[in-house]
Chains A and B, each alone.
Chain A
Amino acid sequence: MAKRRKTNLQEIFRENPDFKSGIPAGLTRRSFMGQALAASAGMALASVFPGAARAIAQAGPSCIQCNNTPPSPGTNCGLELHNPPEIGREPDGMLHGVLVAQSEDRTVYTYDTIAKQYNCQKLRLRAYVGYKGKTLDPAHRVNPPGVLGPGPTFRAHVGDTMKIAFLNHISLKDFPETKEGTCDIVTDASTGQQIYPGVKPTPPFPDQAPDCFRGSNTTNVHFHGTHVTPSYWGDNVLVEVLPYAASRPEWCDPIFDICQDFNGPSEWQHHDHVRHQKYQTWKELAYTRLATVEKQFEPGHFAKPLVATNRELESYNEWPQFWPGFYPYCLSLPKYTPDGPYQMGQAPGTHWYHAHKHGSTSIQVYNGMSGALIIEGDYDLKLRETMPGVKEKVMVWQQIQVQPNRERTGGPGGVGKKNKAPTAPAAINVNGEIQPVITMMPGEVQWWRIVNATVQANNPAFNYSFVGVSGGVAPIFRQTAQDGVQYHWDNYKPQVDQPRASVLTAPGNRVDILVQAPTTLGYSALVQGAPGTTPAPGNIVLYVNVVAASGSYNQNWPNKKEEFPEMPHYLDDIDTVSECRMLDYQMGAPGTPPMINNKQFSEGTVDESMLLGTTQEWIISNNTQGTEHPFHIHVNPFQITEIFDPTTMTAPLKLPKPWIWWDTFALPQAAPVSGGPVQNGHIKMRTRFADFTGKYVDHCHILAHEDRGMMQLVQVVDKKTVVKHH
């Protein structure tokens, strides 16, 4: 049954219905006394070869269920929310950090809607670990071992260069690995029946490589929301970093020495021989290591030697695909100036990063491989000027799973429990905590930066609201930014008179909201659902607890135009377009393949090619009933100018200017209109393919759909050419 989300759309597009906080009946107020979380004891990972000796892990926290609203004393849910640990910039405009993907045992809560209870498990996950600086100095590790949570928050400024040494230390002994060019094959051990990807006729369209779950230990990093080059060491999601426990951050240093303000190896070749030679030397050493890494795998794992594959790509002027356990991400965040070289600038705001290797994106993000990326600029300066001393809460919402089994292409059961309906999506963890509490003072205003790093939470509504519990009163809030791009004053202003009642956030979205606590002491909850939703263990994301005032705290928020960040010129509305395209995101009945324009993602095919600097309008439709596919495109944000949601509209709604900027938008699902035939939902968006050439992707941000083929390869090409026809 399609859930309605009229309230969300009306709010976003400034119709602002009355705000009502739902107060459930029959709840009694309980006092809450937070208890410190006994962090899961860190433990060295020993071999999991069967029969090998291994130290017994120390016990983690006990698993007391979180079935009370508000949380009861003695539970290990309902603890005060902590921001993820951060890695910040240096005064010289550089950010140095090490990000390691590695195997780690962590304690995880999930919610089973069938049994209606929370489950607590210690799970072996592929996890992100962060280090400040340039080395793996244990003293500089920022997130403690064994404790569930996102990767470190990277915090930089517009104009900075981020140099992040990325290491893949995932152990091949801990997780299975798929032979190149094949899918994970899952069988029922008792019957021998193949349940993934399945064999015709069940399902009728078994997944096939490259569009299937596969290669779950190979990875890369997508810096979601950055406006940087998609090539070389930028936001390049086409590289594959293979697992190699011996890789070291120092291996990235030769590139970090020469990457700032780089034009890339192709231009060095012609204009900067010193840098070109350094790059060549570094690359050849990497290839030597790559040959070593290849020997970790079963003989015949790769179709051809990896170095040979890379050299073949280079011979066609393409970037090498495979890297031996390390990759130097070097992102220069462009600062826009009216006379500067950039058509667009990096929007300051709340962005994020996550794994993005096709075929393993879903399982790796389900394992928790995501984190916040905060890029500060004029937006932040203005808000802090208006709200001195404001508390900032950085929240990474994650769902933790160990199997990529939210997509059950084998029909009921699929890769999971036999003869049972699929289990509910995992509970939402906030910074690794389940149902955390944010303590506020009466009337306090806090700045919340929310990163929706879930894989498919709350589909298809993607709707979250505050409700009072046990006599408590819900906070009110105003949104200041969407997907790391600030609102125009005209879009913020209506909230001054009428604060928002709910917020729309699909997987991949970020929202910045200013939350004002009520003056009434007590609890409220942020729940999955529309205003008035009754809080229940399975839908509570977090609590707000308003306590008696003490000390000084911020009670200001922007009420006048001069108190709100001015919209920079590069975010002016796109009034004219030079080209139009139509994309149809398609997924039929369960078991059918996810596609775009009747095609799954395929290696070696560019699906959308355009000239650099063009402005375009895309109509993007969704033919799926019951599912909203969050459309996401890398590198450049877009503006939504029109929306058609067949579940709530009879005709498309043209949106008023100024249009809000997004980089991910949940495409409205298909539905019958007024009792008539089913019509596809759609949006119209406008975007500029500005500043950066190269190859990148658009895709559904329900990441299992992306892994299974709902992705396109986009290529932006330069108008310039060295060819002259005299």
Chain B
Amino acid sequence: MAPRIHQIEITSAGFPANTSIAQFDSIFFVNNTTHPHQPAPDNGTATQWVPGPVPPNGESPQIVFNAAGRFPYNCVLDSHMKGTITVTAKS
């Protein structure tokens, strides 16, 4: 199956708790809040996924997941906002 692109919505409730995608898929964030947010992997750097904050009503670039695994992430600007992306290996 061809890789898919997944839209992850940032709302006033935060990130979705769990997002499951397949290897080689990609995601992008849509910020539907009134504040900027910067999602980043817990085990990575602040700009590893997006080069800067995603402003209100803004969209992030697409982020490709070439490796399978479980990737917890948080908001660099609001550390209480958390989510996890689970990437399943493509057979």
Contact = CB atoms under 8 A, between A and B. Distances in A.
A402 B55 CA distance: 13
A125 B61 CA distance: 8
A14 B90 CA distance: 64
A233 to B, nearest CB: 32
B5 A184 contact: yes
Interface residues of B, number: 49
Contacts of B53: 121-122
B64 interface: yes
Contacts of A179: 2-3
A105 B51 contact: yes
Contacts of A423: 57
A602 B38 CA distance: 41
Given A51-B69, A51-B71, A121-B52, A415 B43 contact: no
Nearest to A63: B55
A190 B9 contact: yes
B8 interface: yes
Interface stretch (A107-115, A389-397, A476-484, A644-652): A107-115
Interface stretch (A71-79, A81-89, A169-177, A502-510): A169-177
A122 B49 CA distance: 12
B27 interface: yes
Nearest to A420: B32
A47 to B, nearest CB: 9
Interface in A32-70: 48-57, 60, 63
B89 to A, nearest CB: 13
Contacts of A266: none
B12 interface: no
Nearest to B55: A119
Interface in B47-64: 47-64
Contacts of A173: 64, 66
Contacts of B65: 50
* Best-surrounded residue of B27, B30, B53, B61 (most CB of chain A within 10 A): B61
Contacts of B30: 416-418
B5 A185 contact: yes
A119 B64 CA distance: 24
A281 interface: no
B57 A418 contact: no
Given A48-B63, A405-B59, A185 B52 contact: no
B45 interface: yes
A298 B3 contact: yes
B4 A120 contact: no
Contact of A60 (B41, B52, B71): B52
B61 A187 contact: no
Contacts of B75: none
A710 to B, nearest CB: 23
Contacts of A184: 5
A188 interface: yes
A417 B31 CA distance: 8
B44 A402 contact: no
* Chain A residues touching B, range: 35 or more
A57 B55 contact: no
Given A123-B51, A298-B24, A405-B59, A186 B5 contact: yes
Contacts of A415: 7
B64 A418 contact: no
Contacts of A298: 3, 24, 90
A52 B19 CA distance: 20
Interface in A96-128: 105, 107, 110, 112, 114-115, 119-125
Nearest to B54: A121
B62 A187 contact: no
B57 A56 contact: no
A360 interface: no
* Best-surrounded residue of B7, B58, B59 (most CB of chain A within 10 A): B7
A189 B7 CA distance: 5
Contacts, number: 150
Nearest to A179: B2
A309 interface: no
Contacts of A115: 56-57
Contacts of B67: 49-51
A711 B79 CA distance: 48
Contacts of B28: 402-403
Main secondary structure of the interface of B (DSSP, over half): loop
B5 A174 contact: no
A105 B50 CA distance: 9
Nearest to A183: B2
A178 interface: yes
A124 B51 contact: yes
Contacts of A52: 44, 48
B61 A124 contact: yes
Contact of B47 (A56, A107, A177, A189): A56
B64 to A, nearest CB: 5
A195 interface: yes
Nearest to A45: B51
Interface string A135-155: 000000000000000000000
Contacts of A195: 7
A556 interface: no
Contacts of B48: 48, 50, 52, 54
Contact of B64 (A122, A174, A186): A174
B59 A186 contact: no
B49 to A, nearest CB: 7
A50 B69 contact: yes
Given A53-B45, A298-B24, A402 B69 contact: no
* Best-surrounded residue of B25, B63, B69 (most CB of chain A within 10 A): B63
Contacts of A63: 55
Contact of A186 (B4, B9, B56, B61): B4
B57 A112 contact: yes
A54 B51 CA distance: 11
B38 to A, nearest CB: 10
A187 B4 contact: yes
Interface string B2-29: 1111111100000010010100111110
Contacts of A187: 4-7
A410 B85 CA distance: 25
Given A402-B60, A416-B30, A121 B55 contact: yes
Contacts of A51: 41, 43-44, 67, 69, 71
19 contacts: A48-B49, A48-B64, A49-B66, A50-B85, A54-B44, A57-B51, A112-B55, A115-B56, A120-B55, A121-B55, A123-B51, A175-B62, A176-B62, A187-B4, A190-B19, A402-B28, A402-B62, A403-B28, A418-B30
Given A186-B7, A402-B60, 12 more contacts: A48-B63, A56-B46, A112-B55, A112-B56, A114-B57, A115-B56, A125-B61, A178-B2, A187-B7, A188-B9, A298-B24, A418-B30
Nearest 4 A/B pairs, CB to CB = A122-B52, A179-B2, A119-B55, A176-B26
